[in-house]
């Protein structure tokens, strides 16, 4: 009858054990460290024991730090990181992930503790940021950016930002503080609209140096070169002269 273990001479708590058929167990200091069988298990007892694999010239090519519950590649993992990767010297790329299938790229699943899934998705022609399974932002091969659309449009080879909304149109809200919207730029079936959304707000046009050139006030009056006036359309010449304040030219 063969023994069920091989014990180190003079060190009885370090041994190779054969606990059951088709299984080998390695013990050090009286604790199991490695089991080889139908599956390979390291540190099944959950002790603070690290697994380290060296490469040629790097003592921490792969390190599993049990105390930190982290994995380090090319370095020891820092506290708080589940995966801590250091790239190889002389190379810019740190991670390469290759997908399989026709026109299906690799993607990251960013799963929160609550509901919904956030993803960074790479397709054959674009990079996408997805929330709740729906594409929120798309960057295509021409570097056009789409929000709410997977097909941002471009014209005359210019880079564009396309925002696609629902039936009420799409737009940009300009907040002074959270929930305090003072301006809105959006498009709908009536065309392009610029709105001041707070009572008493005006729409102002300025050039460099915060120099106001034109204003549409809350009552709908238009002022050029001044901030108020009695008329519906008020113009003031830049040098305060009475001439050439308003001219109409034919081609």
The reported pLDDT for the residue numbered 166 is 67
Residue 115 pLDDT exceeds 70:
no
DSSP state, residue 124: S
The reported pLDDT for the residue numbered 161 is 80
Average pLDDT in the 188-213 region?
A: 88
Residue 190 pLDDT exceeds 90:
no
Residue (of 213, 219, 179) closest to 199 by Cα position: 219
Residue 230 pLDDT exceeds 60:
yes
Res. 243 pLDDT band, cuts 50 70 90 = low
Query: Residue 184 forms beta bridges with which residues?
Result: 173, 195
The reported pLDDT for the residue numbered 184 is 87
Residue 130 pLDDT exceeds 90:
no
Residue 3 pLDDT exceeds 90:
no
Residue (of 1, 24, 5) closest to 15 by Cα position: 5
Res. 249 pLDDT band, cuts 50 70 90 = confident
Average pLDDT in the 9-35 region?
A: 89
Q: Which residue has the higher pLDDT, 238 or 233?
A: 233
CA 95 to chain centre: 16
The reported pLDDT for the residue numbered 1 is 45
């Amino acid at each position: 009858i063969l023994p069920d273990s091989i014990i180190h001479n003079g060190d009885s708590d370090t041994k190779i054990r054969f606990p059951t058929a088709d299984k080998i167990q390695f013990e050090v200091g009286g604790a199991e460290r490695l089991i080889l069988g139908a599956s390979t298990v390291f540190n099944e007892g959950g002790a603070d024991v690290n697994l380290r694999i060296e490469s040629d010239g790097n003592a921490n090519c792969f390190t599993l730090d049990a105390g930190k519950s982290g994995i380090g590649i090319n370095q020891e993992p820092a506290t708080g990181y589940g995966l801590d990767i250091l790239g190889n010297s002389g190379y810019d790329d740190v991670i390469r992930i290759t997908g399989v299938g026709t026109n299906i790229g690799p993607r990251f699943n960013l799963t929160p503790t609550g509901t919904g899934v956030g993803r960074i998705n790479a397709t054959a022609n674009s990079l996408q940021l997805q929330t709740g399974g729906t594409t929120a932002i798309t960057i295509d091969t021409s570097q056009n950016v789409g929000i709410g659309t997977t097909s941002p449009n471009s014209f005359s080879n210019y880079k564009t930002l396309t925002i696609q909304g629902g039936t009420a149109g799409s737009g940009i809200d300009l907040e002074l503080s959270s929930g305090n919207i003072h301006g809105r730029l959006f498009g709908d079936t009536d065309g392009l609209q610029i709105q001041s959304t707070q009572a008493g707000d005006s729409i102002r046009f300025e050039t460099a140096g915060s120099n106001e050139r034109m204003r549409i006030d809350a009552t709908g009056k238009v002022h050029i070169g001044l901030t108020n006036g009695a008329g519906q359309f008020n113009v003031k010449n830049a040098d305060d002269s009475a001439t050439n304040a308003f001219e109409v030219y034919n081609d």
